[in-house]
Amino acid sequence: MLLSHLLAAEGVESVIVEARSQDYVLARIRAGILEHSSVELLCSVGLGERIGRDGLEHRGIYLQSPGERHHIDFVDLVGRSVWVYGQTEVQKDLVSARTAAGQQILYGANDVSLHDVASDKPSVRFTDSDGSRQHLDADVVVGCDGSFGPSRDAIPDTVKRVWERVYPYSWLGVLAAVAPSTDELIYAWHPDGFAMHSMRSMQTSRLYLQVPNGTDVNQWSHQRIWAALAKRLGHTPGGWELTPGPITEASVLPMRSYVQAPMRYGRLFLAGDAAHIVPPTGAKGLNLAIADVALLAPALVALLRNNDPGPADDYSDVALRRVWRCTHFSWWMTSMLHVNGDPFDAQLQQAQLRWICTSRAAAAGLAENYAGLPLGQ
């Protein structure tokens, strides 16, 4: 939807084919942190009003290991902040803006398939929400259909290459109707497993617990969740306490890294989760999807309006540089903070945390990656 917004600003028309209903898309709870350059981009294209009003600007994060909590100040270290503003809110802003502009958004599409993407006349076929079969001819098709959509599989196996890492743990994430017990996010290493205190607003907390893969969320009562969070997050000096509250949503999120290349095949371009997945520890998934389309929009404008194929030809290589940087950062944060039962690894993790908390150079590396590189890098 952001890509359509950017293209429309340059006079390039697009149609969005979405498998889910509008209600579903507007209610989905996912990412919550926007990088500095994501916010700059959204504001520059008229989508910043509610971010400025309802978003929470954070200078940094807290890193915690038992008995110690340190603030990593991104603004002081690298001159950039991040914003707490839910993906659901970004989605709402986009739906309002695109609906007001008359954007064609075809919700509830089934059996979506891509055809002739290697030719100059690619097409998309699907069954619309009324049950009629539809055929859409296009100049280009952009696969922004996440990790389960058909786009990534439309690139032949003989052309594509895939890298994948599945982690031996998941996150149990909860949304709670209670004011956050912290002013900025807490990332906590604990012998029982990683815990994180995030938020969506001054009234809503978002909290995560490391759990084994295959965990059934129904095995975790709300009381058990709060007790585990209090233990893992509360192990700190100064009498800090976690305030519990009503849990309104709980789910288990498996963690994996995945990269597929190239991100372009003929007239098919991939963006976001369709081409790459990161574990959420570095808060990169949504931001990387935004960075892809920020690069792709001008490339498509050059291709379709100015008959200049250069930026589109370069898209995959340029995008993959950032994808691999963020893939590394997300893996690095994940590996540093999640216990895996190996006592040697636990010592290495704590040594690394101590280094980041005591060395300005090490902290700056984390800050630069977390707050995000400028777009185009």
Please say whether the beta carbons of 197 and 233 come within 8 A.
yes
C-beta closer to ligand FAD: residue 150 or 365: 150
Listed ranges 59-67, 266-274, 347-355, 358-366: which one lies at the site for ligand FAD (CB under 6 A): 266-274
Q: How far is the CB of 343 from ligand FAD (least distance, A)?
A: 29
Please say whether the beta carbons of 257 and 164 come within 8 A.
yes
Residues between 149 and 208 that touch ligand FAD (CB under 6 A): 149-150
Is 256 a residue that touches ligand FAD (CB under 6 A)? no
Q: Rounded CA gap, 134 and 124, in Å?
A: 8
Listed ranges 54-62, 182-190, 224-232, 283-291: which one lies at the site for ligand FAD (CB under 6 A): 283-291
Is 287 a residue that touches ligand FAD (CB under 6 A)? yes
Q: How far is the CB of 283 from ligand FAD (least distance, A)?
A: 4
Q: How far is the CB of 350 from ligand FAD (least distance, A)?
A: 24
The length of the chain in residues reads 377
Residue 166's CB is within 10 A of a number of other CB atoms, namely 11
Is 253 a residue that touches ligand FAD (CB under 6 A)? yes
Q: How far is the CB of 55 from ligand FAD (least distance, A)?
A: 15
Q: How far is the CB of 127 from ligand FAD (least distance, A)?
A: 11
C-beta closer to ligand FAD: residue 126 or 189: 126
Residues between 15 and 44 that touch ligand FAD (CB under 6 A): 17-20, 25, 30-33
Among 50, 136, 138, 146, binds ligand FAD (CB under 6 A): 146
Among 230, 232, 242, 234, residue whose Cα is nearest residue 210:
232
Catalytic residues: 58, 187, 280, 284, 370
* Site track 302-341 with ligand FAD (rule: CB under 6 A), x = hit: ----------------------------------------
Is 286 a residue that touches ligand FAD (CB under 6 A)? yes
**Nearest-CB residue for ligand FAD:** 272
Is 273 a residue that touches ligand FAD (CB under 6 A)? yes
Q: How far is the CB of 177 from ligand FAD (least distance, A)?
A: 18
Q: How far is the CB of 173 from ligand FAD (least distance, A)?
A: 6
Among 38, 64, 65, 87, binds ligand FAD (CB under 6 A): 87
C-beta closer to ligand FAD: residue 12 or 112: 112
3-state SS of the chain is CHHHHHHHHCCCCCEEECCCCHHHHHHCCCCCEECHHHHHHHHHCCCCHHHHHHCEEECEEEEEECCEEEEEEHHHHHCCCEEECCHHHHHHHHHHHHHHCCCEEECCCEEEEEECCCCCCCEEEEECCCCCEEEEECCCEEECCCCCCCCHHHCCCCCCEEEEEEEEEEEEEEEECCCCCCCCCEEECCCCCCEEEEECCCCCEEEEEEEECCCCHHHCCHHHHHHHHHHHHHCCCCCCCCCCCCEEEEEEEEEEEEEEECCEECCEEECHHHCEECCHHHCCHHHHHHHHHHHHHHHHHHHHHCCCCHHHHHHHHHHHHHHHHHHHHHHHHHHHHCCCCCHHHHHHHHHHHHHHHHCHHHHHHHHHHHHCCCCCC
C-beta closer to ligand FAD: residue 325 or 354: 325
C-beta closer to ligand FAD: residue 122 or 149: 149
* Site track 102-121 with ligand FAD (rule: CB under 6 A), x = hit: -------x--x---------
Read off the tokens for 340.
């895996």
Round the CA-based radius of gyration of the chain to a whole number and report it: 21
Is 280 a residue that touches ligand FAD (CB under 6 A)? yes
Is 244 a residue that touches ligand FAD (CB under 6 A)? no
Chain residues binding ligand FAD by CB under 6 A are 17-20, 25, 30-33, 87, 109, 112, 144-146, 148-150, 253, 272-274, 280, 283-287, 289
